[in-house]
Every structure is written in structure tokens, then in C-alpha cells.
Amino acid sequence: MSTATNALALRSLRHRPRAAVATFLAVLLGTLLIGSFATLAESAGAASGSDADTLVILGAVVGGWGAVIVLFSVASTVGITTTQRATEIGLLRTIGATPRQARRLIARETGAVAVTAAMAGALLAALSGRALFGLIRSGGLVSERTRYDGGPAAVAGAALLVLAVSALAAAVAARRATRGPAGIVARASASEQGRMRWWRVAIALLLVGYGLAMAVITITVTAHDADPYAAMSTSGSSSILVGVGLAVLAPVLLRWGAAPVRLLAGSSATAHLASYNTARRAHLLSGVLAPVVVLTSAAVGTLMLVDIDRRTLPGGNADSDTITLLNNVVVGMVSLFAAIMVVNAFVATIAHRREELHRLRLLGATPRQVRGSVVAEAGVVAAVGVVLGTLAALTTVVPFAVARHEGVVPDGGLWLAPVVIAAIVALTLGSARGAVRSAARELAR
């Protein structure tokens, strides 16, 4: 039975290459990023003095916050690609498969892709970790006497962590998809409109509450500390925490946010259809909304924090250079990963909707109308995502500006938010347009 299940799982993967690629990229990049920073933390054991402190901060603190985002994105991608198979799972059950057999099939498929990607990511992390260490040492953040000491333990630990999260996400999504009677249409409908689980709401509230608590502590406690960077240590993570917390609630927030967007867009048929389809497919499109929220909150919050710090404290010393580098690394790492996840999520989502887009063509819709409908939905997702992400970013910007005596509104750098938001909206719309054009070309063959 086990051999037959493995063979069936491998054959099944051939019919959904885009979903498999989405999972592969998420696990590969997640292992690469976490593993690279884990080698820095491991190298700290062979260093001493300030070099050890710098490597611990880079590896454990920066890598740790990055890991929160990476693991969330991996879990989101695996969960979405598994949930998209609700109709297929229902079909398997109607021909006699038990829920346990269906879950086992999903676990084998996810495991085959995730293990391959994690191994490749671990190998790349061993190389990128050494390169990252060389960059840090050439920049003067650690002395020449400190040597790179990252080994297989760090990258293997990162791979196991990502694999554990992938397995958990697949198990939760598979259990949800196989719960209840085997009805294909009913199951597909339930998977898109089902209520959010209590534990997911609890995790979201915990993250948002923690982020808001750090913002309050910044204003009331660390703002009065003699260390000028104490306020940064408490406010810097607030935007990431709140952003990830809101991303966990993405299906519900997208349904709520679609209606106001329709009112703002007017009464045109395109605006109505985009808002209606977005609300109806909120569970599916939440996989795109989540990285948009995290990307906006992390990029806007951290960039404006760095700008406030540069404006209110003189630079040029070792601490300021290290802090600036750390923040730039966070922004670059998170932005790159979240941008790839936005593109990745749209490719997987559009691939799941190929039959629907084909039916629209058969009903008389032109290719331009089909592309316009998908891009309009992406516009709704982008609008909701940047609004939520900006609100999350305020939990870092406002407390830190108050702590540095600039008031609720920073004295400068207000152009950063519109520029970042415009780039994220362009990325979202461009990803949707590229994905639907690719799907249209395949349907035309």
C-alpha cells in the first residue's frame, strides 16, 4: 500500500507542476534564508568579545525575525496549495478513498517536494552563509581574526525547522479538506467560505497584541532610557509582528475590505465583479494578500525607522553603522522574500483557476476582458494589503518618532511610504497580469 501511495503521489505531482513549484520555491528560499543566518549564530561560538555579540545579533535576532516571516510564508503557501485540491480530494473520497488515505497522499506529495527543496536550500545556505560572513567581515563589522565556523548543524537545523512547518501546514490543510461528508461541490464551497479556526484567530491576536504592547512600551519606557537604541529594540519589531498577525487573518480581512473598495471604485460592472469575486474567493486570494501585508509593513516600518534614526542621531560610529546594516539587511531580506511570495502566490492561484478562465472564454469573454477581471481583483487585493500593511507600519513609526522627540508625525522621510506602496502595488498588478497572460497562452494551445 505504501509503495502504491508513493507512486500515486509522484504521478499526481505531474498534473500540478505550478503548485509544486510554488511549494518548492517557498521551502527552498525559506531554508536558504534561515540557514544563512543560522551559520552566523554558529560562528559566534568561535568568536569573542564584540565580534561574538555582532554575530549573535545578526544570526539570532535578525535571522530570528526573518524566520518568523519566512515560516509564515512557507506555511501559507503549503496550506493554500493543499486547500486548492479540495475538489480533487472530494472526488477521491466519492470513489472509495478514506480520509486517512487522502491525507496520506497529500503528505507524501508535500513531503517529496519539501524534502527536495529543503536539501537544495541547505546546500545553498552553506555557500551563502560563508559569503554573508565574508561580506560582514569585509565591511569591518567583525575583525579579521574571527573565522567562519558555520557547519552542517546550522543548515540542517534550518532545513528540519522548515520541513516541520511544511508538514504541520499540510496536515492542518489536509485534515480540513477531508473533514465531513464526501461532496465535491459542497467541499469546494466550504473550503472557500468556511469560518476561520479559533486557534488561527488566537495566534493572530497574540501577534498583534504583542506588537501593540511593544509600541506602548516604547513610548512609556524605552523612550526615556539613556541608551539611544533602547527605543529601537522595542519598536523595530512591532510592524513585523502586527503585519504577520494581520496576515494570519487575511481571509476575513479581505472579505471585509472588498466592500469599501467597491464603493470607492464606483458602480461600474468591473468594480462590482472584482469586489464580488474577491470576497467570494477570499480564502484563495488570502495567499496573495498575506505577503503584500507583510511586505508593506516591514518595508515601510523599517525604512522610516532607519530614516528617523539617521536624522536624530549622528552616524559614523561603529554602533550606528552596525544598526543601519542590520536594518537594511532586514528590509532587503524581507522585501525580497515577500516579493517572490507575491509572484509565487499569484502563479499558484491563477493555475488553480485555469478552468474558470477557460469557461469565461467559452461564454464569450475576450482575452482582454479576462485579463482585466483578474487584474481588477489584484487591484482590490493590493489596495486592502497596502492599507493593512501601512497601519501595521505605524506601530513602529509613531512610537519611534515620539521616542526621538519628533512627535506623532516624523519630521521628514514622509515620501518613503508612498514610494514603497507604489512599488508594491505595481508588483502585485504586474504579477497578476503576468500570471494570467501565461495561463491564457497555455489555454490557447
What per-residue confidence (pLDDT) applies to 194?
57
Q: What kind and span of H or E run contains 308?
A: helix 282-312
Question: Measured between alpha carbons, how far is 205 from 202 in angstroms, rounded to an integer?
Answer: 5
Task: Grade residue 181 by pLDDT with cuts at 50, 70 and 90.
Answer: low
Asked whether the predicted pLDDT for residue 321 surpasses 80, the reply is no
Name the residue with higher pLDDT: 182 or 66. 66
What per-residue confidence (pLDDT) applies to 246?
92
Q: How far is residue 179 CA from its own chain's centroid?
A: 27
What per-residue confidence (pLDDT) applies to 9?
67
Tell me which of 199-208, 219-228, 263-272 is least confident: 263-272
Sign of the CA dihedral running 164, 169, 170, 175: positive
What per-residue confidence (pLDDT) applies to 206?
93
Task: Grade residue 185 by pLDDT with cuts at 50, 70 and 90.
Answer: very low
Asked whether the predicted pLDDT for residue 186 surpasses 60, the reply is no
What per-residue confidence (pLDDT) applies to 128?
86
Q: If you average pLDDT over every residue of the chain, what do you get?
A: 79
Question: Measured between alpha carbons, how far is 106 from 233 in angstroms, rounded to an integer?
Answer: 41
Q: Hey, which of 152-166, 173-187, 256-270 has the most confident mean pLDDT?
A: 152-166
Q: For 136-143, what is the mean pLDDT?
A: 75
Asked whether the predicted pLDDT for residue 54 surpasses 80, the reply is no
Q: Hey, which of 26-30, 223-227, 308-312, 392-396 has the most confident mean pLDDT?
A: 392-396
What per-residue confidence (pLDDT) applies to 183?
56
**Do the beta carbons of residue 22 and residue 347 sit within 8 Å?**
yes
What per-residue confidence (pLDDT) applies to 189?
47
pLDDT in tens, 396-440: 999 999 998 888 899 888 999 999 999 999 988 888 888 777 766
Q: Which long-range contacts (CB under 8 A, 24 or more apart) does 414-420 make?
A: 416/300, 416/303, 416/304, 416/307, 417/300, 417/304, 417/390, 417/393, 420/296, 420/299, 420/300, 420/303
Question: Measured between alpha carbons, how far is 114 from 81 in angstroms, rounded to an integer?
Answer: 13
What per-residue confidence (pLDDT) applies to 212?
93
What per-residue confidence (pLDDT) applies to 378?
86
What per-residue confidence (pLDDT) applies to 209?
94
**Do the beta carbons of residue 106 and residue 86 sit within 8 Å?**
no
Q: For 72-91, what is the mean pLDDT?
A: 71
Task: Grade residue 139 by pLDDT with cuts at 50, 70 and 90.
Answer: low
Q: Hey, which of 1-15, 167-181, 266-280 has the most confident mean pLDDT?
A: 167-181
Share of the chain above pLDDT 70, in %: 80
Q: What kind and span of H or E run contains 206?
A: helix 198-220
